[in-house]
Amino acid sequence: MYFSDIGIIALILATGFALYTVVIAVLGAVRNKAQLVASAKLSTLTVAFFLLLAAAALVVSFLTHDFGVRYVAQHSSREMPWYFTVASFYGGQEGSLLYWAVMLAIFSALFVFTSRRAPKTLVPYTLATLMGIELFFLIVLATASNPFVRVPVAPDDGNGLNPLLMDPGMLIHPPLLLMGFMSFSVPYALAIAAMVTGVLNNEWLRSIRRWALASWTIQTAGLLLGAWWAYHVLGWGGYWSWDPVENAALLPWLTTTAFLHSAMVQERRGMLKVWNLFLVIASFALAIFGTYEVRSGVISSVHSFAYSDIGSYFFTFLVIVVAFSSGLFLYRLPRLQAEQEFDSVVSREGVFLFNNLLLIGITFATLWGTIFPLVTALLRGQTMSVGAPFYNQVVGPLIGVLVLAMGVGPLLGWRRTSLAALWRNLCVPAIVTAVCAAILPIAGVTNVVANIGFSICAFTATAILYELWRGARVRHAHGEPYVLAVYMLFQRYRQRYGGYLVHLGMVMLVVGIIGSAFFQVKHDAVLKAGQDTSIGGYQITFMGNIDMQESDRETVTAQLRLWSNGQSQGYIYPGRIIYRNYGNQPASIIPILSSGLTDLYIVFADYQGATEATLQLFINPLVPLVWYGGLLMLLGGLICWWPERRRVARVAREAAPKAAQPEAKGVVA
């Protein structure tokens, strides 16, 4: 028996238990039988076990070079290092779908272990929904996209991994992004359970928010790593090209960001219930849309798989999800009435709603640009697409206003804010912004749009730091040193101050985007041995090409000597790797030299023998801030998500009569 046979058996058994879970969980809920619900939980864990077994069987097939498995032969070879061989597990369509299913099973198992924190009535329907989604993936894996299919005659060696995937980023970016897409399933399942049972109060909201925050954090990491990978592998000098698949990964992140903000309004004021439910459903639907887009190949992208009939499966599933969710949503609409109304536009909830509208505007613009080729092909019979200028002109201003609103929101109170309080809170950020706007032209920032963008970022960063300083000052007045005071703010109000870190990281990221978008310098040079060129204070001397031949590849590197301010900085080696098994497809070796907040980025574009090279040189200002800002956003997300320790005093306060409790402070995510 081959390991692939074990994998097939495991998939069949997982399918049977998933179907059993759907049926028995619904029966347990309808008949109010705790034993049936307990059986559904155990069956969910069994599905996770068999899917992990299937995944292990595929990994072992890769490691043992079982090229009788078609998927193994297509995506690995004997020359590959073991870690890339393992990563080949999710390097193609079939394996990535299995990975999706495995992670969904793991998250479903985690929900089982933490289900005591969710409302009891929601648990069986949540399990049924999760296993319903799982059942779809298992059916696809068993029929249209089985990774364990064997070929009649096994080749001696495989094709190897796609050259663009032979990078350390392969070990972490795809699994994180696929996990991010999958993770939106749990909030969606909770939303379906809430609509089925009618439990649409704040208890449901608290159950779903932590899962949504986990999804947001995972997807943030996936997007950040994807941008980093594109920057140091694809060789075009940038990190985000508004590629359709990049956009598809961004869409559910945007709607979940909107939900995390509007959820606070519902919890605090009992408002935006309809909006929150819509955002949760939309996030999952957009995640499935993104998966469909990659699998179907209907939209051209460097990330897409080849055209496949599997796209019809996902399109059908997407239609079912939208139709079923919309039906439940309309059925429960009368029970989603707001408990209060907006008292004033100049309030924290007013800014949160405005933020949501901006995020949805960005989502719609990005979605429209992504599906525009499909729309034009359908209506006009020819495919037309939009490029980066469309997104920059439409999305760019919306992001600028969004960053500005991020700075204003924390300075406003709930319900309403008086003009005197508004001016008192905005005074310091406004002064800093005015000074920044005046200094930037003197410093050489003559571009008006860039000046406005930097000034907005200065306002928001100042507002966040000012709010942090005010909180620390209050604690310092009671005897705490400032360092301890800041630590205690994050310790005791994690969601609020973790959210401030997310906002501050977003500001840094936007500053990096503005710097690299408006002030990038590009220079093309064709050099012969001994010739030099210069860019941004650097002098580069071409010493010749180095050609290395291996059994499955050819590596050509240009030897460059780098000078800065008249001093030698050593040698750098941009290059190209040509993989023979992939039709001599090249992959770039891109040296990136960071000096302060500026990158020197060199691409080896072409060569003629050993004595001539075509180079593309870039000076990318402020790009490191994109990575630093992204890491700060991740840190803030983790702080928000991290569970607070239970304290006896808190339990006592919750048990005390409500009238005796002090008014709770606002929380910002």
Domain ranges in the chain?
Answer: 1-161, 521-623
Quick one: pLDDT band at residue 665, thresholds 50, 70, 90? Answer: very low
pLDDT of amino acid 598: 94
**pTM, two decimal places:** 0.91
pLDDT of amino acid 645: 60
What does the pLDDT average to over 379-383? Answer: 75
Taking the C-alpha atoms of residue 174 and residue 179, their distance in angstroms, rounded to an integer, is 8
Question: Per residue in 94-132, pLDDT tens?
Answer: 999 999 999 999 999 999 999 988 889 999 999 999 999
Task: Return the amino acid letter for 632.
Answer: L
Question: Per residue in 469-519, pLDDT tens?
Answer: 988 999 888 888 889 999 888 888 888 899 999 999 999 999 999 999 999
Question: Per residue in 577-629, pLDDT tens?
Answer: 888 767 677 888 999 999 889 999 999 988 888 889 999 999 999 999 999 99
What does the pLDDT average to over 215-224? Answer: 95
pLDDT of amino acid 308: 61
- Written out in words, the top-level CATH class of the domain with range 521-623 is mainly beta
What does the pLDDT average to over 185-209? Answer: 90
User: Tokens 């590629």 belong to which residue?
Assistant: 243
35 membership: H or E segment, kind and range: helix 34-63
Lowest mean pLDDT across 26-40, 182-196, 280-294, 636-650: 636-650
What is 527-590 written as a DSSP string?
EETT-EEEETTEEEEEEEEEEEE-SSEEEEEEEEEEEETTEEEEEE--EEEEEGGGTTEEEEE-
CB atoms near residue 303 (< 10 Å): 17
Mean of the per-residue pLDDT values of the chain: 88
Q: Is the pLDDT of residue 206 over 90?
A: no
SS3 524: strand
Apex 529 CA angle, 526 and 532, nearest 5:
60
pLDDT of amino acid 303: 53
Highest mean pLDDT among 81-85, 343-347, 641-645: 81-85
pLDDT of amino acid 395: 93
Question: Per residue in 431-460, pLDDT tens?
Answer: 999 999 999 998 888 899 999 999 999 999
Task: Return the amino acid letter for 44.
Answer: T
Quick one: pLDDT band at residue 182, thresholds 50, 70, 90? Answer: very high
SS3 523: strand
Quick one: pLDDT band at residue 662, thresholds 50, 70, 90? Answer: very low
Lowest mean pLDDT across 5-19, 71-85, 289-303, 396-410: 289-303
Percentage of the chain lying above the pLDDT 90 cut: 58
Lowest mean pLDDT across 263-267, 367-371, 541-545, 648-652: 648-652
Q: For the purposes of burial, counting CB atoms within 10 Å of the CB of 122, is it exposed (0-12), middle (13-18) or buried (19 or more)?
A: buried
pLDDT of amino acid 327: 95
The radius of gyration computed from the CA coordinates of the chain, to the nearest angstrom, equals 27
Taking the C-alpha atoms of residue 347 and residue 341, their distance in angstroms, rounded to an integer, is 12
Q: Is the pLDDT of residue 660 over 80?
A: no
pLDDT of amino acid 268: 82
Q: 144 and 206 in contact (C-beta within 8 Å)?
A: no
Percentage of the chain lying above the pLDDT 70 cut: 93
What does the pLDDT average to over 412-429? Answer: 80
Q: 612 and 526 in contact (C-beta within 8 Å)?
A: yes
pLDDT of amino acid 297: 63
Q: Is the pLDDT of residue 295 over 90?
A: no
pLDDT of amino acid 650: 46
Nearest to 280 by CA among 310, 249, 257, 303: 257
What does the pLDDT average to over 5-26? Answer: 96
